[in-house]
Amino acid sequence: MKQYNYKDLSKVDIQKLVARNVDANNRIRESVETIISEVKAKGDEALKSYALKFDGVDLDSLFIEKEEINRLANQISEKTKNAINIAYQNIKKFHETQISKEEKVETTTGVTCWREARAIERVGLYIPGGTAVLPSTFLMLGVPAKIAGCKEIVVCSPPQKSGEVNGYLAYVAQLLGINKIYLAGGAQAVTAMAYGTESIPKVDKIFGPGNQYVTMAKTLVQSTTNTAIDMPAGPSEVLVIADETANPIFVASDLLAQAEHGVDSQAVLVCSSQKIIDKTILELEKQLFVLPRKEIAAKAIDNSYVVLVKDLQEAMTFSNEYAPEHLILATDNWQKITDQILNAGSVFAGNLTPESAGDYASGTNHTLPTSAYARSYSGVSLDSFVKKITFQHISESGIKNLGPSIEILAEIEGLQAHKNAVSLRLKEIKE
Q: What does the pLDDT look like over 357-401, one tens digit per residue?
A: 999 999 999 999 999 999 999 999 999 999 999 999 999 999 999
Q: Is residue 238 within 8 Å of 325, Cβ to Cβ?
A: yes
With a cut of 80, say whether residue 132 has pLDDT above it. Answer: no
Clarify whether residues 250 and 193 are in a common domain: no
With a cut of 90, say whether residue 24 has pLDDT above it. Answer: no
Clarify whether residues 203 and 351 are in a common domain: no
Alpha helices, H only, 108-211:
135-148, 167-176, 186-195
With a cut of 90, say whether residue 205 has pLDDT above it. Answer: yes
Helix (H) or strand (E) holding 206: strand 205-207
Q: What is the C-alpha separation between 22 and 25, in angstroms, rounded?
A: 9
Q: Which of 325, 355, 366, 411 is catalytic?
A: 325
Q: Which of 95, 261, 326, 366 is catalytic?
A: 326
Q: Which domain holds residue 280?
A: 2-21+235-363
Clarify whether residues 307 and 405 are in a common domain: no
Candidate from 223-237, 248-262, 293-307 with smallest mean pLDDT:
223-237
Query: 3-class SS at 390?
Result: strand
What is the CATH number for 313?
3.40.50.1980
93 band by pLDDT with thresholds 50, 70 and 90: very high
Cα–Cα distances in angstroms (integers) from residue 162 to residues 58, 63, 220, in the given order: 10, 13, 31
Q: What is the C-alpha separation between 96 and 90, in angstroms, rounded?
A: 10
DSSP per residue, 235-290: S-EEEEEE-TTS-HHHHHHHHHHHHTT-TT-EEEEEES-HHHHHHHHHHHHHHHHT
Q: Which residues pair with 22 in a beta bridge?
A: none
With a cut of 70, say whether residue 130 has pLDDT above it. Answer: no
Domain end, chosen from 345, 363, 381, is at 363
Clarify whether residues 147 and 226 are in a common domain: yes
In a domain, 390, yes or no: no
131 band by pLDDT with thresholds 50, 70 and 90: low
In a domain, 254, yes or no: yes
In a domain, 387, yes or no: no
Candidate from 35-44, 156-165, 274-283 with smallest mean pLDDT:
156-165
Question: Has 326 been annotated as catalytic?
Answer: yes
Clarify whether residues 226 and 287 are in a common domain: no
Q: What is the C-alpha separation between 24 and 193, in angstroms, rounded?
A: 27
Q: What is the C-alpha separation between 239 and 288, in angstroms, rounded?
A: 18
In a domain, 380, yes or no: no
Q: For the CA atoms of 241, 247, 252, 253, what is the dihedral angle to 10 degrees?
A: -110
Alpha helices, H only, 149-230:
167-176, 186-195, 212-224
Clarify whether residues 265 and 399 are in a common domain: no
Domain end, chosen from 231, 264, 296, is at 231
Candidate from 14-23, 126-135, 246-255, 368-377 with smallest mean pLDDT:
126-135
Question: Has 261 been annotated as catalytic?
Answer: no
Clarify whether residues 253 and 217 are in a common domain: no
The chain-wide mean pLDDT, for the chain, equals: 96
Pairing of strands 386-394, 111-119: antiparallel
Cα–Cα distances in angstroms (integers) from residue 103 to residues 115, 120, 396, in the given order: 8, 22, 22
Clarify whether residues 126 and 195 are in a common domain: yes
Q: Which residues pair with 5 in a beta bridge?
A: 308
DSSP per residue, 74-103: TTS-HHHHHHHHHHHHHHHHHHHTT---PP
Q: What is the C-alpha separation between 300 and 293, in angstroms, rounded?
A: 11
Mean pLDDT for 289-293 is 94
In a domain, 386, yes or no: no
In a domain, 385, yes or no: no
Clarify whether residues 340 and 227 are in a common domain: no
Clarify whether residues 33 and 9 are in a common domain: no
Looking at the 3D structure of the chain, how many domains does it have? Answer: 3
Clarify whether residues 247 and 220 are in a common domain: no
pLDDT of residue 232: 84
In a domain, 172, yes or no: yes
What is the CATH number for 422?
1.20.5.1300
Whether the CA torsion 126, 130, 135, 140 is positive or negative: it is negative
In a domain, 190, yes or no: yes
Clarify whether residues 148 and 40 are in a common domain: yes
Q: What is the pTM for the complete model shown? A: 0.94
pLDDT of residue 210: 87
